[in-house]
Amino acid sequence: MTSGSLLTRAIFTEGSTMRHVLVMTGTASVGLMSIFLVDLLSLIYVSRLGDPNLTAAVGYATQVLFFSVSINIGLSIAIGALVARAIGAGDWPDAQRLAASGLVHVVIVAGLVSCVALPLRREILILFGARGEALDVGATFLAITLPATIFLGLGMSLASLLRAVGDARRAMFVTLSGAIVTACLDPIFIFGFGLGVDGAAIVTLISRFVLLAVGLHGAVRKHGLVGRPYREAVIYDLPAMMTIAVPAILTNLAAPVANAYSMRIFSHFGEAVVAAFAINDRVTPFAFGVLFALSGSVGPIMAQNLGARLIRRVRQTLTNSFVFSAIYVVIVSALLREAAPIVIDIFNARGETAELVRFFCAYAGPLWLFLGGIFVANAAFNNLGFPLLSTLFNWGRATLGVIPFVTIGAARFGPEGGFIGLIAGSAMFGIGAVAAAYFVTAKLAKRPKGA
């Protein structure tokens, strides 16, 4: 493939903005939802072992892994943006150099994170509230899966490179491959080989290898997109990579920080409550995963129209995205509420765990309505030249919108109160983010042409 074969027409500046939103989101959803499906399937199989301590252990370990995954997401955003710009400029050798350097940066950063977290995994789990059997099992799970985050980071970055070159189908296959491997091997390793939670961890490791192999096949063999890395180039490209990656990483780290604090608060109520929190933490992202795809898909639509000075279409895209998000949340919330008994049965939840899962399913809608607003606003901030606002609202929600609300809610009304606190804090920052997004587009409309 050569740079001459790339499409150069700004297709998002023409036609229905709602259609662009729907098509882009639908395509991105398939690959992204497969990632959530991987986590969901693993927890379903572990929960069938019938021990809440094991379910809680996976829940604790997942919160730790969220941090490394968030860092990998930031790195993949940076490498994709740099390579896409080079391709858009028609400079294929530059794109190959940046791809090679970026992948080396991913290995170094992801490797350092794993090396730091691995020997401290028990201390980190204790900080999250883990104890007893959940602590021991969680530590073993992390010992197997933490090194695999390097392969996950490379796989995610390779998928980002495939999107940069316009190959959305192969990018989707990268993440789908991990889900397929997990779906096939999890029951074999967990039940067939009798390995339990260790089996789930081993399958996670295998799925990361497969994800990496599929990504390499597409980016290297099919497109020849990755050049040979050179030390001088790796050092030279580091500032450009980090200029994009650091703000993106900081923004993405806000969510796991909020989750970690919430998990610690809920851990005071016992392992049955933590198990319910872990189930909710897998079910709701899968149910509302389209919102994550939406936030990552509408950015190019806004950016192209901004470049063409079509601010009316930028605002129209913003409104279309908010409307789509709200309608989607309302529909899925109703379905999730009705599906609560099925969710409880699938995860073999009992007693207090089952009651809390039912409560979470019933009241997840309001939380994700406001989170959806924040996600869409983030896309606007990052693609319209106001990335600091994205970091501000995400960290604002993760701290001021979580710590006081969850702490007070849980202290006065138990786990249910803590969850309602999450909703209240998200409402405050969700409404603020939506208002700020419209303020940004209004400010852009007043700029003189060419400014």
SS3 state of residue 349: coil
pTM: 0.76
What are the φ/ψ torsions at residue 16 (nearest 5 degrees)?
-70, 125
| Chain center to CA of 322 | 19
Alpha-carbon distance of 111 to 310, in angstroms, equals 43
Closest CA to 212 of 92, 73, 103, 68: 103
Listing DSSP states for 153-193 in one string gives HHHHHHHHHHHHTT-HHHHHHHHHHHHHHHHHHHHIIIIIS
Looking at residue 88, its pLDDT comes to 61
Mean pLDDT by 10 residues, the chain (451 residues): 42 82 79 72 82 86 84 84 73 91 96 95 90 93 94 91 77 85 91 93 93 95 92 94 84 83 87 86 84 78 76 92 96 94 89 92 93 90 80 92 94 93 94 95 77 51
CB-based contact 114:149 (threshold 8 Å): yes
Residues 6+ apart with CB under 8 A from 145: 61, 65, 201, 204, 205
DSSP class of residue 448?
P
Q: What residue type is 193 in one-letter code? A: F
Say what the pLDDT of residue 272 is.
87
Q: Which residue has the tokens 């936030």?
A: 295
Angle at 247 between CA 107 and CA 318, to 5 degrees: 120
How many CB atoms sit inside 10 A of residue 84's CB? 19
